[in-house]
A and B are shown apart, each in its own frame.
Chain A
């Protein structure tokens, strides 16, 4: 695997749209070519090299390409958007839409990210060592086909509207989650190691949510059905099991009605 290191030498005054910063776009290119890729600061299009110094070169394919971002990328959006393979490491913070519509590969952000990260994700891995903003692993605006697959792991807290319309894949939040988790969900798993504020699983048809702490304002559409032992993220624990959202339609599979499940740790 070949590594390209880009360092933010001239930070933008506005925010930088960096959807071209992906292994797919860097593959097969030398440093000078990578520096000519388009980025947008507001409505102004400029070459990537205007903001970043570029070292190294891309591998033959996306899978063979690793990108390391250095410098303060707090104002760089859309890193790894629609990437299919390869690896990205962001040494510090990043802005919105990191790993949006991601299909494969791995992104590791060592700091915090803002909202809409992992939105519309279909596969791959998005690891965030700090906190994430709102709409983590959510569906894009208007879209009813949310996260389809892949893994999002946030060590810290997440904002509101996590996993809206989730259809598949897994989101693991090390800390707390704000309101609205897996709204309209039809599959997938969300694991919250801390507390959830409320409106967890609203209008959820199918899928699982695990909350290790407490749900401050649980929804009345979920019904307690028993206690179960479940293995979650490599450890087994005892959970109270709720099904719902009882106000929503539910498919029948093999003669049994399928509900969404919320598990809270006992």
Chain B
């Protein structure tokens, strides 16, 4: 590792509130340093280009069993869509790309950190094996808690301390990163062929409401002081009229403030909010309630969201929200995979075609963009496509283009078969806002890093942070008149430096620096009750023994541990 000087670029670093100043960035031994600390650096000339920290993705399904089910049952996703060998490993697939393609494509877009959105705890070894096989990018993975029997039992009895001890144990057993909650209670109800359609529907047998699961997990999260907040996929996702349920869920965060040592301000991250912002009461009269949703989010700074933008592609939906996938399959009649994960969760996978010829698809497209364009704080509103649910992550540059250019939105809307109905049912046509490069940097690196509680390592360019720098061939003083140039620039960065190593040059991967697995190790006081509960459940209910359940060190690839001490 040597020294590197990135010279004369327009630097965008929202964590330091640097808004396109012409600056040099110094790198030494894989860390950002003051330029005065360099002796004889190699230089990268970034004149006329935008310099940002490496991208941070807050929510993306890239590794693990349900992604792999998607890969296995969609061979057509690879047919004629797999480029010839360009890097060390084969790349294939479109909406569910191979692990290798995932790593390379993220790197080509200038991303360095991707948070796997849902890890079934029982299958954590598979998740970690795929993390190992995803080159370049650092990964974390969030185990799902919202339908876990332990969690439901503790929270029903208001045993936050016990739930916290269990959470700490499970994060360690799975080498997980944060508390993910998918359709709280609803996925467990799916085991009875039911669902929890509102946050007040009780879960069968456990007799606890989703509302109580959500508040209980917020309390657990803040009790432990984890880097990230509770990360929520709302109940009644994807159904007309569900914005009411989303707002009900948001309101549960009222009165809670973040307690942590990681610079995180929110207590609830609500993911792919596009899928939770629907008005109307049927697919015929579905409309956008993005304004309502964002009015609430803008006024409450203990919530962050990501948009889950529909990209109008043929893609593969996959979620731990089992009942939702069943419903989707009965709408589109395509193939469906469904699984139950013992005491923990479930999952479903269904291919889906978001078409410009389908009214619901184009309304969904408009809603995602509206969420971002109505946001008054882009440090709390992040770009995602809920990859691959609303579209593949390789479309982030296109989402950026739509957000930065009204002309690009108009161009896309021209292709809509139901343009009038889309304009009637949404407000997208009345929005002229065009986001700036600074705002894009907030949405794609600084904001997500802060929300994940890793903004001391990722998402910024302050001395001491990891030397992850993405350079895009875009001049903020002379932005291209053709919005497609914005998409092209973000799709293939001019340079990506990861850990001080030039990884991508002119949009091509030129090196594969070591990737890491980021996980959170929480120290909690000894808890005999929880240890006994864990022992009992594994004895009576799990199909595997406790010794085989916990991740073996051999599965863990190049770990970076974030330590939390909650005993203080």
Interface, chain A (partner B; CB < 8 A): 140-144, 249
Contact = CB atoms under 8 A, between A and B. Distances in A.
B74 A142 contact: yes
A140 B76 contact: yes
B75 A144 contact: no
Contact of B333 (A141, A142, A143, A249): A249
A144 B335 contact: yes
B334 interface: yes
Contacts of B334: 144
A141 B75 contact: yes
Interface residues of B, number: 10
Interface of B: 73-77, 79, 333-335, 351
Contacts of A144: 334-335, 351
B79 A140 contact: yes
Nearest to B78: A142
18 contacts: A140-B75, A140-B76, A140-B79, A141-B75, A141-B76, A141-B79, A142-B73, A142-B74, A142-B75, A142-B76, A142-B77, A142-B79, A143-B76, A143-B79, A144-B334, A144-B335, A144-B351, A249-B333
Contacts, number: 18
A141 B80 CA distance: 13
Nearest to A251: B333
A141 B79 CA distance: 9
A77 to B, nearest CB: 16
Contacts of A140: 75-76, 79
Given A141-B76, A142-B73, 16 more contacts: A140-B75, A140-B76, A140-B79, A141-B75, A141-B79, A142-B74, A142-B75, A142-B76, A142-B77, A142-B79, A143-B76, A143-B79, A144-B334, A144-B335, A144-B351, A249-B333
A50 to B, nearest CB: 21
A142 B314 CA distance: 14
B95 to A, nearest CB: 12
Nearest to A141: B75
Contacts of B351: 144
A75 to B, nearest CB: 23
Contacts of A142: 73-77, 79
B482 to A, nearest CB: 30
B133 to A, nearest CB: 22
B318 to A, nearest CB: 15
* Interface-central residue, A141, A142, A143, A144, by most chain B CB under 10 Å: A142
A143 B76 CA distance: 6
Contacts of B77: 142
Nearest to B335: A144
Contacts of B73: 142
